[in-house]
Amino acid sequence: MSRPTRRATGKGGWNPYRALGLGLVLGGTVFAPIAYFLIASVPFAAIGISAIMLGFTCMALANARPYISPEASEVILRTGMENTAALLEELGLQNKAVYLPSTLRDGHPQALIPLSGTADLTRIRARIPGRLIVRWGDDPEDMAIAVTTPGSAQLEKMESRPGSTAAEIESAITYVLVGVLDLANAVTVSVTPGRVDIGVVGARLQYEDAWYYRCLGSPVASIAATIACEALGKPVRIIEESPEEKRSRIVLEVLG
Amino acid sequence: MRVFNRYLIILALASLAVNSMLAFAGQQDLTVYFTANAIAYLMITLLHVYMNPAARRSLSRVSAVLFASFAIVVGIKVVEVLSGV
């Protein structure tokens, strides 16, 4: 078995934050007494204390870095997306996915890709069984493929379900995209009846004209849609995604 | 890790601003520098609530130690004022 790379070893391996933190703590610890007792300069001693505080903060952040390297995460994400895309391509599905809250699935949110393009998914009332191919309505053509999206997996790690106001949805999407996944710089959300407008500043995973993206949207839009549908407790569909270099716009249609 | 870098840069700039302002104001009490830095640190850390849970847990420990030190410094100052030293 090959040895893991140093970058992927997490707590035990070399970490730039730990190295910076150690340097600042040691530097501050040496500099502060020298400045206070030998140079007799209080402002310089204060700089030493600030360095110690910043050093401990760096060392604290070093422990919070992910165990898996970003390259490994990208490979895993791409593999999952390509497998889903292959399934959709084989079935010839190009319909827009509908994101369902956990209350309409078996306890965890998923996306439903209807087999029929004219499907009216506002008719979903009952809980849909946790299978790959599901029947969501009473008509024979009311069939769909249910897939797990990156947002579904992330939402299960959240401590509580987000509230339904624009501020609460914005806070939840910011927490996931900016704080946990580091996929964007900032997020803004506005909610109007039947519609959710999401602005994502500095999105790292941009929209591509691929089969997966046409059905489920980009990973960033998919995560935002999953959080919004869970917060509102209603199915949503990505109706527009306009990726810009600085600020992407995602428009969600709230169904039901 | 852009969110970590941004947080550290904001902390460093805040420390620089606080120390510079107090130095230009002619402040010679080290506890005043420490108190001002601690308040700035706690405020900036509170504003970065959206960091991942592991980072928040680690930063909470640092904040707790800093807050305890801040409380001790303030306590000593209160005792000094009350005892008329």
Spatial separation of the C-alpha atoms in residues A158 and A149, rounded to whole Å: 15
Is residue A220 within 8 Å of residue A198, measured between CB atoms?
no
Delimit the domains of chain B by residue range.
2-83
pLDDT, position B4: 86
Domain end among A43, A62, A81: A62
Give A165→chain B minimum CA distance, Å.
18
Full domain range(s) for residue A57 = 7-62
Whether A50 sits inside 8 A of B15 (CB atoms) is: yes
Quote the minimal CA–CA distance from A182 to chain B in Å. 7
With beta carbons under 8 A apart, name residues in chain A contacting B2.
182, 185
Min Cα distance A206 → chain B (Å) is 17
Q: Where does a domain end: A62, A82, A108?
A: A62
Q: Is residue A126 part of a domain?
A: no
Within 8 A of B44 by CB-CB distance, chain A residues are none
Q: What predicted TM-score, i.e. pTM, was given to this entire model?
A: 0.71
> What pLDDT, on the 0 to 100 scale, is given for residue A13?
62
Closest CA to A98 of A138, A76, A128: A128
Do A60 and B55 make contact, defined as CB atoms within 8 angstroms?
Answer: yes
Q: By CA distance, what is B63's nearest residue in A?
A: A57
- Interchain proximity A49–B23, CB inside 8 Å: no
* Predicted confidence (pLDDT) per residue in A55-89, tens digit: 999 999 887 766 677 778 778 888 888 888 888 88
Residue of A nearest to B59 (CA): A60
Three-class SS of A15-44: CHHHHHHHHHHHHHHHHHHHHHHHCCCHHH
Q: How confident is the model at residue B12 (pLDDT cuts 50, 70, 90)?
A: very high
| Candidates B4, B54, B62; nearest CB to A56 | B62
Q: Is residue A37 part of a domain?
A: yes
**pLDDT tens, residue order, chain A (256 aa):** 344 444 444 445 668 889 999 999 999 999 999 999 999 999 999 999 999 999 999 999 887 766 677 778 778 888 888 888 888 888 888 888 889 888 887 777 888 888 876 667 666 767 777 778 888 777 777 888 888 888 887 777 777 788 889 999 998 898 888 878 888 888 999 999 889 999 998 887 766 777 788 888 888 899 999 999 989 988 899 998 887 777 889 999 998 7
Which chain B residue has its CA at the smallest distance from A24's CA?
Answer: B12
Number of domains in chain A: 2
Per-residue confidence band for B43, with pLDDT thresholds at 50, 70 and 90: very high
> Which pLDDT score, from 0 to 100, does residue A8 have?
41
Residues 6+ apart with CB under 8 A from B41: A53, A57, B11, B14, B15, B63, B66
- Listed residues A62, A85, A108: the one ending a domain: A62
Inside any domain, residue A94: no
**Would you state the pLDDT for residue A125?**
63
* CB within 8 Å: B37 and A54: no
Buried b (16+ CB within 10 A) or exposed e, A237-253: bbeebebeeebbebebb
Chains A & B: contacts with CB separation below 8 Å:
92
Q: Is B12 within 8 Å of A46 when comparing Cβ atoms?
A: no
Asked whether the beta carbons of residue A57 and residue B8 sit closer than 8 angstroms, the reply is: yes
Please tell me if residue B70 touches chain A, with a CB cutoff of 8 Å: no
Q: Does B29 touch chain A (CB under 8 A)?
A: yes
Is B8–A58 a contact, with Cβ atoms under 8 angstroms apart? yes
- Give the tens place of pLDDT for each residue, B48-77: 877 877 888 889 999 999 999 999 999 998
**Please, which pLDDT band fits residue B10 given cuts at 50, 70 and 90?**
very high
pLDDT at A155: 76
CA distances from A256 to A125, A137, A195, A243, B56 (A): 9, 14, 11, 27, 37
What are A's interface residues with B at a Cβ cutoff of 8 A? 17, 36, 42-43, 45-47, 49-50, 53-54, 56-58, 60-61, 63-65, 159, 171, 174-175, 178-180, 182, 185
